[in-house]
Amino acid sequence: MTTAADSSLHAAEPGSAPVVADRGLSRDVSDVVLERPTSRAWLIWALASLALTMVFAYAILHLFIAGVGIWGVNTSVVWGLALTNYVWWIGIGNAGTLISSMLYLTRQDWRSSINRFAEAMTLFAALIAGLFPILHLGRPWLFAWLVPYPTTMGLPPNFNSPLVWDFFAIAVYLIVSLTFWYIGAVPDFATLRDRARLRRQQVFYGILALGWRGSAGHWRRYERAYILIAALATPLVVSVHSVVGLDFAASVAPGWNEPIYPPYFVVGAMYSGFAMVVVLAAIIRSAFNLHAYITERHFDLMGKMMLFGALVLGYSYAMESFIGWYSAEDMHLSIVVYKATGDYWWVFWSLIACNVVIPQALWFPAARRRILPLVVIAILINIGMWLERYGIIVFTLSHGHMPSGRADYMPTVWDWALTIGSLGFFLLLFLVLVRLVPIVSMHEMRKLLRGRVQ
């Protein structure tokens, strides 16, 4: 795949890579932030997402006042949508940094036009993901006890627990992603500062630009810092979701206790992440007609990534079932059967369809290069991945070892309010971002173009 990308970019086939002058680039991109008036479409979207954010906020307030009893969770199925959403969002949050750092280290230049908003997506997703484990607590106001600080109780957290490592993983991931994103954006802030005409814009971006002048020295430092953090971020991408996988794998529950979980979670995360990037890319591209910078080729490549994910996931699912049988452990087998035929059979089969079967269409270039089918598939993948996480939690908990302890799970309106609300919140953050920050990394695009012109 790497080679494919390289060759395509260097031997610039017609229509593949953007052919525009620097100035045009800077204008096209920075005007989105500086010049263009707020469009009606933007307003409508913003209001809609604001409304959902209010729902989110109210659901949280009510949760704190009334307690987690308002959810559908019960004595056997003690976890529900809260953790489903947590794992899902963390998954989404994975791809951005993956695209930026891993592709940066592997010199995948085509990333330049998507990494900016992909990273932003990461930030917001991880932020929201980080909320859910806290909301999910029975006594959320005590979540600070997860932090190893010197209390008057003289009691540290339990470092055996995957949840503690979750806490660290997410915190570190957030910080590094933020730094990575910010450093990458500094030169562009400088561009904005210089192009800005309004005083307040100049000051605002001036501060963000940290006095960037684009001198050789600046660039040298920049390159070093950027690659360092990229190198730092890459293992984090892997670690953060591996730890989430361990939340389940480190248990004795049938269907959870499987060594395949960490890698399988990482791939799943990357998978859903890319799907989300595709959706956002498509929206941004048409909204700010950046067709010149986000080309079919990008979608084509991301399509290939998703196809890759679909194959690995398909393998993982197969492995799960195989091990269920191969372990000769009756509970493991029974849970495999239960998944496919039990109370939640529809969850299982629809996630198989969304995550494995339908994405096979991506074998066909037509499906990868044409936006509509690609976006539809991407959305289905995101739904499928959500269902996968839902299944992971509900299958096992509603069908445990103890026959007497088997009970089904039905989310309540409050569960859904949180779920939908978090989507709205994410959208709102993103909409605000596109008005403040150039959504395509201008300086990287310039480099890319120069590289081609000569």
User: Is residue 405 involved in binding other proteins (CB under 8 A)?
Assistant: yes
Q: Say how many residues touch other proteins, by CB under 8 A.
A: 69
- Closer residue to other proteins in complex, CB, 64/364: 64
- Candidates 35-43, 59-67, 114-122, 443-451 — which segment interacts with other proteins by CB under 8 A? 59-67
Question: Is residue 326 close enough to count as binding other proteins by CB under 8 A?
Answer: no
214 is an interface residue for other proteins by CB under 8 A: no
CB closer to other proteins out of 128 and 208? 208
Q: Interface with other proteins includes 360 (CB under 8 A)?
A: no
Question: Binding segment for other proteins among 23-31, 84-92, 144-152, 231-239 (CB under 8 A)?
Answer: 144-152
**Which of left, alpha, beta for 189 (phi over 0: left; psi -120 to 50: alpha)?**
alpha
Does 158 contact other proteins by CB under 8 A? yes
Q: Is residue 66 within the footprint of other proteins (CB under 8 A)?
A: yes
Question: Least distance from C-beta 81 to other proteins, angstroms?
Answer: 14
> Could you tell me how far CA 399 lies from the centroid of its own chain?
30
For position 215 contacting other proteins by CB under 8 A, the verdict is no
Least distance between other proteins and beta carbon 236 (Å): 20
- Rounded distance between C-alpha atoms, residue 443 and residue 449, angstroms: 10
**SS3 letters across 336-403:** HHHHHHCCCHHHHHHHHHHHHHHHHHHHCHHHHHCHHHHHHHHHHHHHHHHHHHHHHHHHHHHCCCCH
Binding positions for other proteins, 172-201, rule CB under 8 A: 193-194
Among 16, 27, 50, 143, binds other proteins (CB under 8 A): 143
Q: Taking the complex as a whole, how short is the minimal distance between the CB of residue 158 and other proteins, in angstroms? A: 4
- Smallest separation, CB 289 to other proteins (Å): 29
**Binding string to other proteins for residues 22 to 51, with x set by CB under 8 A, is what?**
------------------------------
Q: How far is the CB of 86 from other proteins (least distance, A)?
A: 12
Tell whether residue 16 is a contact of other proteins (CB under 8 A).
no
Query: Where does this chain touch other proteins (CB under 8 A) — which range of 114-122, 137-145, 230-238, 375-383?
Result: 137-145
Task: Tell me how far apart the alpha carbons of residues 254 and 390 are, in angstroms, rounded to a whole number.
Answer: 16
Nearer to other proteins, 52 or 164 (CB): 164
Using the rule CB under 8 A, give the single segment among 158-166, 293-301, 355-363, 382-390 that binds other proteins: 158-166
Select the residue interacting with other proteins from 46, 50, 157, 360 (CB under 8 A): 157
Least distance from other proteins to the Cβ atom of residue 61, Å: 6
Query: Looking at 183, 250, 287, 358, which residue binds other proteins (CB under 8 A)?
Result: 250
Nearer to other proteins, 291 or 401 (CB): 401
Q: Which is nearer to other proteins, 37 or 138 (CB)?
A: 138
- Residue 210 is a binding residue for other proteins (CB under 8 A): yes
* Least Å from the CB of residue 247 to other proteins: 8
Where does this chain bind other proteins (CB under 8 A)?
Answer: 60-61, 64-70, 72-79, 133, 136-146, 149-158, 160-164, 167, 193-194, 202-203, 206-207, 210-211, 247, 250-253, 330, 397, 400-408
